[in-house]
């Protein structure tokens, strides 16, 4: 961040039925970030996620029904914008993301609008079959082309958004499947934001492709490619276009 | 029995169903118009099948029934498209309402706790 501005950082944890891990995640986070600047967005959980998070001392926003992780992130960005935060870190509720990398991520905010923590930027490789690796590479290559920078881990949910990204995402955040990761990068770069990666380590978890069978892997690939093509084809959503019109008018006056 | 009788009975029944749904507030005016038009058109066509023959002649369709099928098919497609758009809009509004409500509720809770 530049010398003039100090970062006011919010950590947002989208959570859906994560009562088993949310307590430990917050406890670990407590050593790295003040808990009054941590928000859990409970996306309509039917377990004790909210209660545990609240008891742990963080702020908790509850969706009345399950809207998907993209909508949960959208809510977090709206909250961040309303409360004057100029950096927001997205952290998974399953303990996959390590809080000791918060500083690494936040250090990048001055040089890019979105900083993604990448498992592979340090030279690591997705350990799986050649088909899955190929798919992962194709996706990374396509998103990199949109972002005009080399990205290796585009499905990583461990990332920080700077002030310009918070402003954009509070107006619109992709809510469809995988919108919270891949589509949001394409959407942001198409609106003039910059993205970069920093290498991080993550804890063991079902990472990468959530697909067990060939059929599911094919469906996943097809869906993600459709998202990528559509994300490039679509214009600005009405809320963004409206905001841009208003901003232009304001300048003319 | 003349099949025309069946056609007339069915289209009149459809008209009555639309009227009943309208009367008891199940069907808002917004959608009522299209269904009323559909019911009236089918009544007119079943009473005067000659119209169908004439229009088919004009378009060079040898079997008038094909005109009915094609026309009906496209009307149904348009209706489905309208439903898709309406559903997308409703989902969007529902999501925004829940998000706004969730943030407001948290802020109220947070302020009263202080």
Q: Do B106 and A59 touch (CB under 8 A)?
A: yes
Closest CA of chain A from B99, distance in Å: 6
At residue A30, the 3 state secondary structure works out as coil
What DSSP string describes A168-230? HHHH----STTIIIIIHHHHHHHTT--EEEEE--B-SSS-S----SHHHHHHHHHHHHHHHHH
At residue B113, the 3 state secondary structure works out as helix
Q: Do A61 and B103 touch (CB under 8 A)?
A: yes
Q: Do A62 and B106 touch (CB under 8 A)?
A: yes
Closest CA of chain B from A130, distance in Å: 38
In a structure prediction context, what are the per-residue pLDDT tens digits for chain A, which is 253 residues long? 444 467 899 999 999 999 999 999 999 999 999 999 999 999 999 999 999 999 999 999 999 999 999 999 999 999 999 999 999 999 999 998 999 999 999 999 989 999 999 988 776 665 667 777 788 888 889 899 988 899 988 888 899 999 999 999 999 998 877 777 888 999 999 999 999 999 998 887 544 445 467 787 788 888 888 888 888 788 778 778 888 788 888 765 5
Distance CA A65, CA A88 (A): 24
Q: Which two tokens stand for residue B57?
A: 């002649």
A61 touches chain B (CB under 8 A): yes
Which residues in chain A are contacts of B98 at CB distance < 8 A? 63-65, 67
ipTM: 0.83
Residue of B95, B98, B103 lying closest to A82 (CB–CB): B103
| Residue pair A183/A231 in contact by the 8 Å Cβ criterion | yes
- Is beta strand A87-90 parallel, antiparallel or unpaired with respect to A9-15? parallel
Taking chain B, what is the end-to-end CA distance rounded to the nearest angstrom?
81
- Is residue B12 scored above 60 in pLDDT? yes
Closest CA of chain B from A199, distance in Å: 33
User: Which pLDDT does position A57 carry in this prediction?
Assistant: 94
Q: Residue ranges per domain, chain B?
A: 3-83
Distance CA A11, CA A22 (A): 14
What are the two backbone dihedrals, phi and then psi, of residue B25, each rounded to the nearest 5 degrees? Answer: 65, 20
Closest CA of chain A from B94, distance in Å: 10
Nearest alpha carbon to residue A195 among A235, A162, A169, A240: A162
Give the domains, in start order, of chain A with CATH numbers. 9-252 (3.90.550.10)
Which residues in chain B are contacts of A49 at CB distance < 8 A? none
Which residues in chain A are contacts of B95 at CB distance < 8 A? 67, 71, 74, 175
What are the two backbone dihedrals, phi and then psi, of residue A247, each rounded to the nearest 5 degrees? Answer: -65, -40
Which residues in chain B are contacts of A64 at CB distance < 8 A? 98, 101-102
- Is residue B91 scored above 70 in pLDDT? yes
């Amino acid at each position: 961040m530049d010398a003039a501005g100090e970062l006011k950082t919010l950590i947002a944890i989208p959570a859906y039925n994560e009562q088993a891990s949310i307590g430990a995640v917050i406890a670990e986070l407590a050593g790295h970030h003040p808990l009054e600047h941590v928000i859990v967005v409970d996306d309509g959980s039917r377990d004790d996620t909210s209660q545990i998070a609240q008891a742990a001392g963080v702020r908790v926003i509850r969706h009345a029904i399950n809207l998907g992780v993209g909508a949960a992130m959208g809510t977090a960005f709206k909250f961040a914008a309303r409360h004057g935060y100029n950096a927001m870190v997205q952290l998974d509720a399953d303990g996959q993301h390590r809080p000791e990398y918060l500083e690494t991520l936040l250090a990048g905010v001055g040089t890019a609008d979105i900083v993604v923590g990448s498992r592979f930027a340090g030279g690591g490789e997705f350990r799986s079959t050649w088909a899955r690796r190929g798919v992962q590479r194709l996706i990374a290559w396509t998103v990199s082309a949109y972002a005009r920078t080399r990205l290796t881990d585009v499905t990583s949910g461990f990332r920080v958004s700077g002030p310009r990204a918070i402003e954009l995402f509070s107006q619109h955040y992709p809510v469809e499947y995988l919108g919270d990761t891949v589509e949001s990068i394409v959407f942001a770069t198409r609106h003039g934001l910059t993205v970069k990666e920093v290498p991080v380590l993550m804890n063991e978890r079902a990472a990468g492709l959530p697909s067990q069978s060939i059929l599911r892997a094919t469906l996943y690939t097809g869906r993600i490619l459709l998202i990528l093509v559509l994300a490039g084809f679509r214009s600005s959503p009405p809320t963004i276009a409206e905001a841009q019109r208003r901003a232009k008018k304001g300048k003319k006056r | 029995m003349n099949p025309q009788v069946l056609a007339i009975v069915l289209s009149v029944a459809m008209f009555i169903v639309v009227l009943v749904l309208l009367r008891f507030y199940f069907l808002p005016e917004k959608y009522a118009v299209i269904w009323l038009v559909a019911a009236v058109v089918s009544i007119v066509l079943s009473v005067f099948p000659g119209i169908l023959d004439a229009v088919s002649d004009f378009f060079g369709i040898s079997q008038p029934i094909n005109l009915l099928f094609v026309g009906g098919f496209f009307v149904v497609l348009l209706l489905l498209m309208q439903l898709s758009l309406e559903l997308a809009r409703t989902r969007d509004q529902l999501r925004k309402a829940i998000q706004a409500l969730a943030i407001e509720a948290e802020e109220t809770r947070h302020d009263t706790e202080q």
